[in-house]
Amino acid sequence: MAVKRGGLGKGLDSLISLSDDLDLTPKKEEKSSAAEKPKEVIKEVVKEVVKEVKVHEPLMVKLREIEPNRDQPRKEFDKESLEELKDSIVQYGVLQPLVVVKKGKYYEIVAGERRWRAAKLAGLKEVPVIIKELSEREISEVSLIENIQRENLNPIDEAMAFRQLLDTYSLKQDEVATKVGKSRVYITNSTRLLRLPEKVREYVANGELSTGHAKVLLGVEDPAILENLAKDIVEHKLSVRDTEKLVKAALNPKKPKPEVKLDYVEHFALLQDKLTNRMGTKVEIKRKNNKAGKIEIAYFSNEELERILDIIGLTE
């Protein structure tokens, strides 16, 4: 009697749930033969089926016999969140079993490392687990998908998880999207974050930069400029809108106005105009040659002469 199995990528519930679709009712054409069987034989059949199903029921396993999956995408666990889960476990116990596979003398976690860590903090000696028989690919896929679906990975760890699914198993973006319940555009935008320089990825992973900031910064190709912009954004706590303006200015710097070189005549004409404005009366520069000449300042009254002398600084 076959037990229906859920496929990967359909959520963790499909991984650990048991099928109750065991049909023990004889088909119409088989009723006559089944009715002739002793009830004890039917009971034995049911017993064997139940025995097969119970292989997937939770077992209590010592914490010291369980180890985390070294390839799982989440590298950091929020301490405050772990403490909250620990308090819940102290009060109610581990309500959802860990999913593990047997690896020689120990069990490797496929899903539930956060519960395992919190259980250790709570001082538990053993936890409930469901032991599965999975290939290395299935272990990796389930571990990645379980973490992604819980939606508590930081954007960079999530992007690395998507990249691992894409590269390790040569999946297409739409296939990854189907497995994790996201859109293809979401997968594309997420994996683009890995193009950022390491320091900028740290800002995003730590929450100092949002994915909105990161998407804007991706428009900058020069890594050095990009890192400097990211540093300014973090230090000044700029909004995404302000970041857009900053990046636009960096990509399209204002070009300095070219210096206008005047010819010789224009140069003296400009000087003459400046002197006229400064003195408040007519001023003429009369050149004898390129090196010599004279300046004539006109005045039309003694008062105006005094004013001009005062400007020049010759009055007592």
- Give residue-wise pLDDT tens across range 140-188: 777 777 777 665 678 998 898 888 888 887 889 998 888 888 899 999 9
How many whole angstroms separate alpha carbon 315 and alpha carbon 313?
6
Of 179, 185, 175, the closest CA to residue 148 belongs to: 179
Please report, for residues 43, 275, 278, the alpha-carbon distance to residue 118 in angstroms, rounded to integers and kept in the order given. 42, 84, 82
As a whole number of angstroms, the distance between CA 186 and CA 261 comes to: 55
- Residue that has been written with the tokens 């594309």 in this structure: 188
List 108, 113, 141, 158, catalytic entry: 113
d(CA 279, CA 295): 12
Helical H segments across the chain, by residue range? 12-16, 31-36, 39-53, 79-92, 113-121, 136-149, 155-168, 173-180, 184-192, 198-205, 211-217, 223-236, 240-251, 264-279, 302-312
Q: Is there a catalytic annotation at residue 113?
A: yes
Q: Which of 30-34, 64-68, 132-136 has the lowest mean pLDDT?
A: 30-34
Indicate yes or no: pTM above 0.85.
Answer: no
Specify the residue for token string 């899903």: 111
Provide the 10 A C-beta neighbour count for residue 161. 23
Amino acid in position 13: D
pLDDT tens digits for 110-133?
A: 888 889 999 999 999 999 999 988
Structural contact between residues 118 and 82, judged by C-beta atoms closer than 8 angstroms: yes
How far apart, in whole angstroms, are the C-alpha atoms of residue 70 and residue 109? 9
- Express each pLDDT in 177-230 by its tens digit: 888 888 999 999 999 999 999 999 999 999 999 999 999 999 999 999 999 999
206 neighbors 172 (Cβ within 8 angstroms): no
Which residues are within 8 A (CB) of 171 and not within 5 positions of it... i.e. 6 or more apart? 165, 179
Q: What is the mean pLDDT of residues 258-273?
A: 71
Residues 304/281, Cβ–Cβ less than 8 Å: yes
